Amino acid sequence: MNGPPQRVRRERLDGGCDREPIHVPGSIQPFGTLLVIDPADGRVVQAACPPGSSVLAPGDPIGRPLGEALADGAGRELARLLERVPASGAGLLGLVRPGGIPHHVIGHRSDGMTVIELEPSGPDSSGTDRSGADPSGASGHGGFDEVHPHVRDFLDAVQKAASIDRLCALAAREVRRITGLDRVLIYRFDPAWNGEVIAEDRNDRLPSYLGLRFPAADIPAQARALYRLNRLRLIPDADYEAVPIRPAANPRTGRPLDLGLSVLRSVSPIHREYMRNMGTMASMSISLLREGGLWGLISCHNRTPARVPYQVRVACDVIGQVLSLQLAATETAAAAEHRNALRGVHGRLLAAMASAEHFVGGLAARPDDLLALTGASGAAVVTGGRVVRIGAAPAETDILKLVDRLAEGGRDDVFVTDRLADAMPGGEAIKDTASGVLAISISQLHDSYLLWFRPETIHTVTWGGDPRKVPSPDDPTRLSPRTSFEAWRETVRLTSPPWRSVEREAAAELRTAIVDIVLRKAEETAALSERLTSINKELEAFSYSVSHDLRAPFRHIVGYAELLKKFEGERLSERGVRYVDTIVESAVSAGKLVDDLLGFSQMGRAALAPVPVDMNALVAEVRRRLAPDLGERAIAWRIAALPPTRADPMMLRLAMQNLVENALKFTRGREPAVIEIFADQGPEETVYRVRDNGAGFDMAYVEKLFGVFQRLHRVEEFEGTGIGLANVKRIVERHGGRVWAEGSPDGGATFSFVLPDGHDTSGDRRWRS
């Protein structure tokens, strides 16, 4: 009796509660008898029997064959049951009647030994007053036929319970009904192993713990490990006198007995003190497991000592398992439903991204879906240092700081926190928008992130006692369990509601989609540019061949018509000569059309070589070139000082020449023709204008003005193919500028164009809307 308890004490001094070896206590609780049998020879090697028990045959059981160990020869019956001991876990072997009292026999294997526990199957005689217990369940053998009536009602009701809360309330009520204990709690662990009471059924003999939270230290790690192994624990009387196992070390193995699977296992003195502090003398707890992990407990208490008979415990275990399964199913269904809804959202975002020029534009176009995907109130997309904010997001500078911080920490695919203040210095400053952050990295190459934000949600947690009063590690009294279970309210700040796994998965899926889309867009762009190159080549070959082959027939028409006139003219009537002249004229103008068209197509193909351009010199050059065609015309030139620009000089000269030619043409007949060339310099851009006092045009047709071969005047009034302004538009637009016209019939016209200032002119700002 000296070994194990000392060992416990040493452990307590060394490491505390977490390291107490609770599976080898060296003793049992006194509500049954324990025998350890060596399967090699069927003899008893260790035993623990409460004082006053009449289960064992008189004399020392150690060394006896099992068949002779029990009173009234019940051992022979027991020996026959031994073959039923399961290979793993513990199981009911049957009933024996030593001393005429029926006992449940429960067996398991431990360290190569067979461990037999005998527990009276009748109601205990300890004088407890369990109210409401079903007396008929107290005398059976614990088979399923006895257990089933207890759980049948529960099974029926469970099918109808829609919510997790209802399910748990139902289980608590049912367990209390069949055990008759004072209070039954359904207790759920959070990821940090704090427990919260989510359902309760009780009478007024014990206080309510519903909604209270218990710190993780209340149920230490090795206890939780044991709870996974052995689903049900029972302490009928916290004030019990432990019965030592004799001898302490197994003579065959030399080790103390592992009671991890035992029913009678004696519990830690710390736990018994905890129970007394709680005012509960009897307790039973049933593990709730999900996928092998412990997610909660059914925790039952009685103010006074009480022993729940084996078959009732089995019924409670079944209820616990059904509850676990049902909870898992309900949660899975809820998660599946949520996931399904998110899939719709995901699909819409995907479609928007795929149809947008840039995926960011697609996301920004569906702000509600983007936020709904993770249940966020704000979001931001950061690509190449640009920030697009959606909903309630922090300021751009704060987002960039956050992204820097994320990049420092390596590019994890998904970063998640519901307490940014802990994750990032200065995070507290943006708590109103971003206490919770879910971020996904969307590029392996640069710092591109999609972030979702949740604001701080101030809430209170009610602890079953002040969790801060856990003794410090240096306090020698730290092993005393806490004595106060007074509800203590804590206000939790700087925290957002946690991101659920479905939401994190949705974010990760969106990340995959974005990466795919970005890659696909890049491929599409490459394919498009390849196709453009090939189309351009074809176009070039086409226009080359047109320039050679299409002009020739016109030339021949003109040539032969001229020859006809020259050699046969005398034989032609006056009308015949006029016809020949018309043929010549038409073929010449067709040839000019071909030439103009080719020129226009060249304008689109030629490479731009932008350099600084002196606009005053350019206008002077244009005037010099046009001077020979002006003859005696009276023209009032009003040329203002023009600011320089940046453009391809050849092309810009052609554009300006076309505008001036246009002005000259439409002012024919004006005395004098007034042609003004000037610029309006604004803060952002410079507008160059060419104004005349000529024929003008009707603004209703302004859209046609710049089209290829579009004319607003009859050809007899003003000659030309209608290519000049189309050339101007093409040249200006190839520079990234704009051109437009204003005028009125007979009121002159003003043509204006703007060239970009040579800074950032790429269209990337488009998606910033």
**Which ranges of 550-614 does DSSP label H, i.e. alpha helix?**
551-568, 574-605
Name the minimum Å distance from CB 591 to another protein.
Answer: 3
Task: Candidates 4-12, 271-279, 435-443, 560-568: pick the segment binding another protein (CB under 8 A).
Answer: 560-568
Name the minimum Å distance from CB 557 to another protein.
Answer: 9
Name the minimum Å distance from CB 667 to another protein.
Answer: 27
Say whether residue 563 binds another protein (CB under 8 A): yes
Say whether residue 720 binds another protein (CB under 8 A): no
Name the minimum Å distance from CB 573 to another protein.
Answer: 22
Say whether residue 369 binds another protein (CB under 8 A): no
Report the residue number, 82 or 598, with the smaller CB distance to another protein.
598
- What's phi and psi for 490, nearest 5 deg? -120, 135
Report the residue number, 356 or 561, with the smaller CB distance to another protein.
561
Report the residue number, 515 or 564, with the smaller CB distance to another protein.
564
Q: Is 559 helix (H, G, I), strand (E, B) or coil?
A: helix
Name the minimum Å distance from CB 654 to another protein.
Answer: 14
Task: Candidates 102-110, 442-450, 504-512, 597-605: pick the segment binding another protein (CB under 8 A).
Answer: 597-605
Residues with Cβ within 8 Å of 236's Cβ and at least 6 positions away in sequence, in order, are 29, 31, 124, 126, 128, 282, 305, 306, 307, 308
Name the minimum Å distance from CB 373 to another protein.
Answer: 56
| DSSP letter for each residue of 127-156 | ----TT--GGGGSS---HHHHHHHHHHHHH
Report the residue number, 207 or 599, with the smaller CB distance to another protein.
599
Q: What span, in angstroms and rounded, lies between the C-alpha atoms of 481 and 224?
A: 17
> Nearest 5 degrees, angle CA 38-CA 39-CA 40?
90
User: Which stretches does DSSP call E strand in 424-547?
Assistant: 436-441, 449-454, 459-464, 487-492
* Size of site (CB under 8 A) for another protein: 24
Task: Candidates 61-69, 154-162, 237-245, 580-588: pick the segment binding another protein (CB under 8 A).
Answer: 580-588
Q: Is 283 helix (H, G, I), strand (E, B) or coil?
A: strand
Say whether residue 587 binds another protein (CB under 8 A): yes
Kindly identify the residues of this chain, within the stretch 500-559, that bind another protein according to CB under 8 A: 544, 547-549, 551-552, 554-556, 558-559
Report the residue number, 137 or 724, with the smaller CB distance to another protein.
724
Name the minimum Å distance from CB 706 to another protein.
Answer: 24
Residue 109: both structure tokens together: 């294997």
Q: What span, in angstroms and rounded, lies between the C-alpha atoms of 19 and 12?
A: 7
In eight-state DSSP terms, residue 708 is T
Q: Is 91 exposed, middle or buried (0-12, 13-18, 19+ CB in 10 A)?
A: middle
Report the residue number, 322 or 583, with the smaller CB distance to another protein.
583
Say whether residue 584 binds another protein (CB under 8 A): yes
4 and 248 in contact (C-beta within 8 Å)? yes
Say whether residue 118 binds another protein (CB under 8 A): no
* Interface pick for another protein out of 141, 346, 592, 713 (rule CB under 8 A): 592
Strands 673-681 and 635-639, by their bridges, are: parallel
Task: Candidates 54-62, 74-82, 318-326, 587-595: pick the segment binding another protein (CB under 8 A).
Answer: 587-595
In this structure, the chain runs to a length of 769
Name the minimum Å distance from CB 542 to another protein.
Answer: 12
Report the residue number, 484 or 533, with the smaller CB distance to another protein.
533
Task: Candidates 20-28, 394-402, 502-510, 594-602: pick the segment binding another protein (CB under 8 A).
Answer: 594-602
- What's phi and psi for 692, nearest 5 deg? -135, 170
Question: Closest Cα partner for 72 from 45, 44, 96, 91?
Answer: 96
Say whether residue 562 binds another protein (CB under 8 A): yes
588 and 558 in contact (C-beta within 8 Å)? yes
Name the minimum Å distance from CB 749 to another protein.
Answer: 30
**Which ranges of 550-573 does DSSP label H, i.e. alpha helix?**
551-568
Report the residue number, 527 or 541, with the smaller CB distance to another protein.
541
Say whether residue 560 binds another protein (CB under 8 A): yes
Report the residue number, 240 or 554, with the smaller CB distance to another protein.
554
Name the minimum Å distance from CB 657 to another protein.
Answer: 17
Task: Candidates 144-152, 286-294, 407-415, 598-606: pick the segment binding another protein (CB under 8 A).
Answer: 598-606
Task: Candidates 1-9, 213-221, 233-241, 588-596: pick the segment binding another protein (CB under 8 A).
Answer: 588-596
Name the minimum Å distance from CB 600 to another protein.
Answer: 12
Instruction: Please give the torsion angle defined by the CA atoms of residues 163, 164, 165 and 170, in that order, rounded to the nearest 10 degrees.
Output: 90
Kindly identify the residues of this chain, within the stretch 140-199, that bind another protein according to CB under 8 A: none
3-state secondary structure 83-124: HHCCCCCCEEEEEECHHHCCEEEEEEEECCEEEEEEEECCCC
Task: Candidates 30-38, 168-176, 381-389, 590-598: pick the segment binding another protein (CB under 8 A).
Answer: 590-598
Report the residue number, 109 or 592, with the smaller CB distance to another protein.
592
- State the amino acid at position 10 in one-letter form: R
Report the residue number, 258 or 595, with the smaller CB distance to another protein.
595
Residue 215: both structure tokens together: 């710190």
How many Cβ atoms are within 10 Å of 473's Cβ, its own excluded?
A: 7
Report the residue number, 334 or 563, with the smaller CB distance to another protein.
563
Name the minimum Å distance from CB 590 to another protein.
Answer: 8
How many Cβ atoms are within 10 Å of 397's Cβ, its own excluded?
A: 9
Place of tokens 């020029």: 357
Q: What span, in angstroms and rounded, lies between the C-alpha atoms of 736 and 748?
A: 27
Q: What span, in angstroms and rounded, lies between the C-alpha atoms of 37 and 46?
A: 7
Residue 543: both structure tokens together: 């226009």
Name the minimum Å distance from CB 546 to another protein.
Answer: 10
Q: Is 232 helix (H, G, I), strand (E, B) or coil?
A: strand
Instruction: Provide the sign of the torsion angle of the four alpha carbons 424, 430, 431, 436, taken in this order.
Output: negative
* Interface pick for another protein out of 479, 598, 635, 674 (rule CB under 8 A): 598
Say whether residue 432 binds another protein (CB under 8 A): no
Name the minimum Å distance from CB 719 to another protein.
Answer: 15
Report the residue number, 167 or 651, with the smaller CB distance to another protein.
651
Residue 436: both structure tokens together: 């919770």
Name the minimum Å distance from CB 731 to another protein.
Answer: 17
Report the residue number, 459 or 555, with the smaller CB distance to another protein.
555
Residues with Cβ within 8 Å of 94's Cβ and at least 6 positions away in sequence, in order, are 81, 84, 105, 141
Name the minimum Å distance from CB 558 to another protein.
Answer: 5
- State the amino acid at position 33 in one-letter form: T
Report the residue number, 428 or 595, with the smaller CB distance to another protein.
595
User: Which stretches does DSSP call E strand in 455-564?
Assistant: 459-464, 487-492
Q: What span, in angstroms and rounded, lies between the C-alpha atoms of 576 and 571?
A: 9
Q: Is 196 exposed, middle or buried (0-12, 13-18, 19+ CB in 10 A)?
A: buried
Report the residue number, 186 or 580, with the smaller CB distance to another protein.
580
Whether residue 120 is preceded by a cis peptide bond, meaning omega within 30 degrees of 0, is no
Residues with Cβ within 8 Å of 28's Cβ and at least 6 positions away in sequence, in order, are 34, 48, 242, 243, 245, 259, 262, 264, 265, 266
Name the minimum Å distance from CB 658 to another protein.
Answer: 18
360 and 383 in contact (C-beta within 8 Å)? yes
Report the residue number, 547 or 750, with the smaller CB distance to another protein.
547
Name the minimum Å distance from CB 552 to another protein.
Answer: 5
* Interface pick for another protein out of 369, 595, 733, 742 (rule CB under 8 A): 595
Binding to another protein by CB under 8 A, coded x per residue (else -) over 23-42, reads: --------------------
Report the residue number, 126 or 586, with the smaller CB distance to another protein.
586
**Interface ranges with another protein (CB under 8 A):** 544, 547-549, 551-552, 554-556, 558-563, 584, 587-588, 591-592, 595, 598-599, 602
